Amino acid sequence: GTPINPSAFNTTEFQANFGLASIGALTAYDNSGTGQGITVAVIDTGIDVSNPEFAGAIAAASTNTVTNIVADLQDVDGHGTAVASVIGARKNDALTHGVAFDSTILAIRADDAPGSRFTPGSVATAINYAVANNADIINLSIGGPAPLTAGYQTALQGAVNAGVIIVTAAGNEGGEAATEVLFPARLSNCSTLIICDALTATNGFNSQGRMIAVGSTNQDNSLSIFSNPAGDTASAYLVAPGNGIVMTGVGGGVVTGLGTSFAAPHVSGALAILLERFPTLTTENAVALLLTTATDLGATGTDTTFGRGLLNLQAAFQAQGVSVN
């Protein structure tokens, strides 16, 4: 038989975050998929601006859209830095690297409420800014139980209408209480076929096939106890690693965290790789590719726990005709 070639990308740095192996990232790297030239907006608490893990990664347009002062981009919470690292921390033989380690991070600091929280207006402003500054993908590792304000929903609609992909965390209200994902993730499968008017501030939201809700799995591919399940968003819901994720810390070193906040950026990074490596894919094609090539977990087919299943970059590459050793 054909000898199996060990991947040169299977480094200590790669192995530091088990999530990279869990999603089949080596296949992407072995086939020149790194996310180069793709911009992912991270709407969050900012980014650790001078961290060497982000050397060359941060888009010039990155800013704080609450104060409109670039100097206020610096992350003081750590959440945005961690999320950004899962997407695009550099492959530099130190610590760990992101899924799309050559992608560009458009860091948008939008926390404007006590405790590093976000008001609907500030998120809407940040989404509009991301679209205006040529983001290909927007990562929203934020959410809540309340239906969206009209302004927030209008910003989301404008983004998907412009061809931008929105990746959203499902929420961390898990356990018996949670049966649905939080907003805005719950709008991910709203379309002309799946009418979500009852959920929305204004009628007729259409995700255009460009939104994904992301729940969290543990290392053994079980649903994390904290993760909101797919519920009625199942057809546009994926799971990705989100428990025990090793990420970049503010001021250097790594932090280990858990939450659907850290599952979502695995999907954002995977999308960046697909858009770079297969440039003829439309953004909705890229979303559909991940949903249809996910590894089925739980009940056969799409289900209300795991949705479409576990993010699988190896299967996505194979579906695009790339042979895998």
Q: Which residues are catalytic?
A: 44, 79, 261
Q: What's the full length of the chain, in residues?
A: 325
Task: Give the helix/strand (H/E) hosting 275.
Answer: helix 260-277
Sign of CA dihedral 266, 211, 296, 305: positive
In a 10 Å sphere around its CB, with 0-12 CB exposed, 13-18 middle and 19+ buried, how is residue 20 labelled? buried
Contact yes or no for 91/16 (Cβ under 8 A): no
With b for 16 or more beta-carbon neighbours within 10 A and e for fewer, the 96-133 pattern comes to: bbbbbbbbbbbbbbbbbeeebebebebbbbbbbbbbeb
Kindly state the DSSP code that residue 75 receives in the 8-state scheme.
-
Place of tokens 């690292």: 85
Radius of gyration (C-alpha) of the chain in whole angstroms: 18
